[in-house]
Structure 1
C-alpha cells in the first residue's frame, strides 16, 4: 500500500499538462530586462514552459529605448501559426505590439485559436517614459481588449485606454479600472506601483509605504467586483520590465491554479522579492532589471555556508511538495494497514465494543476538528479556499456526525476524550494558533488523505469479498469510499501544495513537521481501541 497515492494525480500543474505551456507575444529587449526576455524568465520562475513570438525588435538598455524595428505582420502570423499548429498552448501573454497591422494579426489569430487564458499587458509607455505604441495603433488596441481575460496596464496606460488624465491616487485608479472593465467586459489588474506613498494610501486604507494591486471585474468572473491585494512598496531604481514580468507570471500561475485571486496572491510576493533583490544583479547604469530567480539561490561557502558546499532554496514545482508529503506518510500507512483493528474491521471480525469506542472518539475528535477547519477558513487567502474549508467544517458537524450518531444510538461508548484523541486535537489547535495558514492546513491534511486512502483500501477489500450485506461495518466502509470525500481530499491536497509554493523554506519545513505529526497521530488513533481495551 505504499504505491503512489491515487489522490496525487489531481494536483496537476495545468489543465492540459503538468507544466503550463505559455506563449508570449511581445517585443525583444536585448538588455534582457523586459519584453520576451523578461517574460520567459517569469514563466520559467513559475514552473512554466515558455515560448515566444516576436512582434518587434528594440535597441534599448537600462537607460532607455533608442530604436524600434517592427517586422512585417505576416511574419508574426507565420510564427503564431507555426507554434499553435504543433503545440497545445495553455496560456498566452501579450505585450508590445508595435503597430496596427501587428495588432490586427494577433486579434485574427486569437479569434481562430481561442486560447484558454489570455493576459494582455497593453505596452504603450515604458518604465523609462518612452512611448512604445504610436497613437494610430491605439484604436486597433482597443479592439483587441475584449479578447483578453486579464488586462494589466500601468497607470499611464490605463489613462490612455480611457482617454483620461493619469490617476493621482489609489481611489481614482480603482474607478478607472472599473470603467475599463465595464467597457471591455474583461477583468483589469489595477497596479499601485507607480503611485507615490501618499497616492497609494489614498482611499485604500494602506499606509504610506503600501503598494496595493486590485483585480477589478464587472462581468461575474470573480466573486467580488474589486479584490484588493495589499503589498509592501520596495524602494529601488531597478524596476525595468516589472510590468512584463508580472503579466507573464500571472498567465503562468493562472494556467496552473485557475483562480485569478490565487494567482495574484502567489505572484505579488514573488515580484516584491524580485524588486528587493534586484541590486544583486548589478546590471546597467540606469533603471536595472528585477531579479526573476531570487527564490532560487545557490548558497556557497562565499555566502557563509562553509566549505561543505551549497544549499538550494527554490519554489517547489506544482505537486512536488504534495508528493513529498505522501512519501513521508508511506511508513505510517504501512503501520495502519498492519494494525489488528484495521484487519478485523476489513473482515468484519472486529468486536462491536472496539468499533463503538473508535466511533465515539471519532465523533469527539470531529467536534474539535471542525473548529480547526473553521480557523483555516477564516485565514484562507482566497474565497475558493474559504468556501472549501467552511464546507469541510460543516460536513464534520452534519454528514459524518450523523453517521456516528446513528451507529452510537443505543450503544455504550466512551463520551470523554481518550488520551490519543486529546493529544491529536491539542496538536491541531496548536497549529491553528501559529498564524500560518500553510502549517494549519498541512496539519489537518492527514485526516483527509490518510483516512481517504485507508477507507478506499478497506472498501476495495470489502468489494473483493463480494460486498456482503451481512458485513457489520458495511455502511462505514461505503461512506469513506464516497466520491465526494475523495474529491474533497484532492482539493485539500491541492490547497496545501499551493500554500507550500507560496511559503518560505522555513515555513515549508514547519508544514512538513505538522503533517508528519498528524500522520503519526492517525496511526495511534486507529490503534487506540486496542490500547483502550
Structure 2
C-alpha cells in the first residue's frame, strides 16, 4: 500500500524547501503526501525575507482534521517556528502516536544563525523523544549535543560529528542521522547512529559539485520517512533516499530556478525513466491507431480487387494470382508468428501467437491448396512477387530485431484489416452479391468473416494495445511505426493482383514477379 505521509512544516513559496519540497519528495519516492502548515515565509533561492506564524490553535485544527479521517503511516516534522507551535505538535504526537516520526529540527540556518529562541529550543529538546529519527545539520547537531549553557561547538571533523550524534541519541533515546555535507573535503558521508543498539551504519558518497542545494534537508528527511514506512527498515530507507537525493542533486542546476542556491530536481529520475506524458490506456491506443490508418483502409475499400471480389466480377486469373502470393506470404507469416510466440513475455502470449501460427498453416494454407493444389506457396509454384517480398521482409526484419512488442504491432494489421473487411463483407456493406451462396468466391469470403478469426483478432488487439499502453513513449512510437508500415503493405498486397494482371498476358496463368 502507498505510504501516507504527513509533513508538518513551513511553506516556501519558491518551491524548493519546506512543505513544497516535502510533498515533491514524498511523491517522488512513491508516497502520498499531506501537509499541515506551521508557518508562512516570504523567501526565494537567495534567502528568507519574512515569516508569519498562524495561531497554534489553527495548526492543531489542521492536525486533528487529518488524523480524524486518514490513517497516517509516517510524519515528517520540519520548521516549527516557536515554543507554542512545538508543544502543539508534541501534544498531537502524544495523542495520535504515528508509527514513524522523522524530525528535521530547523534550528540553525546554513549561515549559522539560530532560528529559534531559548524557549523554543527547550521545547524542541522535549519533542525529540517523540521522534524515531532526527536529521540535524551540523549546526543543529551541535545545539542538541550542547548543554544549552554556552555557544554550541560545531563539529569540524567526521569523528566529532559522530560523537555528537552518539551523545544526542543516548540523551534523547532517538536515532540520529549525522550528515557530513557541510564538512570540508570531497567526501559527503552520512551515518545512522543508534545508541540504544550501539550501532553506527555508515553511508558513503563523494560530494556533488552543485549550487542547487536549497531544501536538501527537507527533501531527504521526507523521503526517509516515506521509505521507512514502506520498508520498515531504517538503513534500507536511508540508502534509497540518499540514492534518490543524490540523483536529484546532480540534475538540480538544469532546472534553472532562481539566482541563488536553487532547488534539487525532485523528479529528474522519474522524468528520465518514465517521461512526463500520461500513458494512453489500451482502449485509447486501439482507437488512435485504427483512426490513424483510416485513409489506408479507405483506399483498400476502393480497390478494384476488393470491389470485384465483393460483387463476384473479379476474374479468376487475378484471384488465383492473389492466392498464390498469399500462400507464399502465409508460410513466412507463420514463421514470424512462431517467433512472436518465442519472444512473448508470458504463457498467455506464447500460447496465442503459437496457435495463430498453427492456424495459418493448417487452416488458411489448406484453403489455398484447395484452390491452387498442393504446391501452393512452394518453390514449384509462382515465386513471390516484389510486393509479397517487401511485406515479408518487413515482418522478418521485425522478428529478427527481437523486440516482441514491435513485432506483434507489425503483425496486427493482418488480423485487424482482414477481420474488418470480413465483417463488413458479411454485413453486405459492399453489396448484396457478397452474401449470395452462389458467389464464385463464396468459400473464400467465408474465411474473411470466420467468427474464430474475429475472436483471435480481438485477442491480438488486446495483446498489442496493452503492450503499447505499458511502453515508454519512444517504444510505443516504434510499435506504431511498425503497425502503420504493415498497414501500408496490406494496401499494396490487395492492389497488386490487378496491377500484375494488367501487365501479364491472359494466357500466362498465375501471376509471376
TM-score when scaled to structure 1?
A: 0.51
Aligned residues: 284
Q: Is the 8 A contact 1:277 1:294 kept in 2?
A: yes
String of CA shifts for 1:256-279, please: whole Å, max 9, x gaps. 001000011111111111111111
Q: Closer, same or farther in 2 for the Cα pair 1:116/1:333, shift >3 Å?
A: farther
1:219 to 2:186 alignment: no
Aligned to 1:422: none
Aligned to 1:147: 130
1:125 to 2:108 alignment: yes
Which aligned pairs between 1:403-422 and structure 2 lie closer than 5 A?
A: none
Picking from 70, 74, 77, the partner of 1:94 is: 77
Aligned to 2:8: 25
Q: Closer, same or farther in 2 for the Cα pair 1:311/1:147, shift >3 Å?
A: closer
Distance 2:345 2:206 in 1: 36
Greater CA drift, 230-239 or 252-261 = 230-239
1:169 to 2:143 alignment: no
Picking from 168, 175, 179, the partner of 1:187 is: 175
SS in 2 for 1:194: coil
Q: Is the 8 A contact 1:127 1:239 kept in 2?
A: no
Aligned to 1:352: none
Which aligned pairs between 1:346-365 and structure 2 lie closer than 5 A?
A: none
Distance 2:28 2:117 in 1: 32
SS in 1 for 2:268: coil
1:82 to 2:59 alignment: no
Q: How far apart are residue 148 of structure 1 and its match?
A: 0.2
Picking from 104, 107, 119, the partner of 1:136 is: 119
Picking from 285, 289, 295, the partner of 2:259 is: 285
Which aligned pairs between 1:222-241 and structure 2 lie closer than 5 A?
A: 225-241=199-215
Q: Is the 8 A contact 1:227 1:261 kept in 2?
A: yes
String of CA shifts for 1:50-108, please: whole Å, max 9, x gaps. 00000111111111111111111111000000000000000000000000000000000
Distance 1:101 1:217 in 2: 29
Q: How far apart are residue 134 of structure 1 and its match?
A: 2.5
Q: RCO higher in 1 or 2 (8 Å CA, sep ≥ 6)?
A: 1
String of CA shifts for 1:451-491, please: whole Å, max 9, x gaps. xxxxxxxxxxxxxxxxxxxxxxxxxxxxxxxxxxxxxxxxx
SS in 1 for 2:267: coil
Q: Is the 8 A contact 1:96 1:132 kept in 2?
A: no
Q: Is the 8 A contact 1:126 1:132 kept in 2?
A: yes
Q: Is the 8 A contact 1:187 1:218 kept in 2?
A: yes
Aligned to 1:49: 32
Q: Is the 8 A contact 2:134 2:174 kept in 1?
A: yes
String of CA shifts for 1:401-432, please: whole Å, max 9, x gaps. xxxxxxxxxxxxxxxxxxxxxxxxxxxxxxxx
Q: Is the 8 A contact 1:20 1:91 kept in 2?
A: yes
SS in 1 for 2:269: coil
Q: How far apart are residue 232 of structure 1 and its match?
A: 1.9
Q: How far apart are residue 179 of structure 1 and its match?
A: 0.3
Distance 1:240 1:184 in 2: 29
Picking from 224, 232, 240, the partner of 1:250 is: 224
Distance 2:9 2:276 in 1: 35
TM-score when scaled to structure 2?
A: 0.53
Which aligned pairs between 1:334-353 and structure 2 lie closer than 5 A?
A: none
Gaps of at least 5 residues in structure 2 are: 147-151, 280-343, 353-471, 473-513
Q: How far apart are residue 334 of structure 1 and its match?
A: 8.6
SS in 2 for 1:58: strand
Distance 1:58 1:184 in 2: 30
Distance 1:229 1:213 in 2: 5
Distance 1:238 1:129 in 2: 19
Gaps of at least 5 residues in structure 1 are: 1-17, 198-208, 301-309, 315-326, 336-504, 506-533
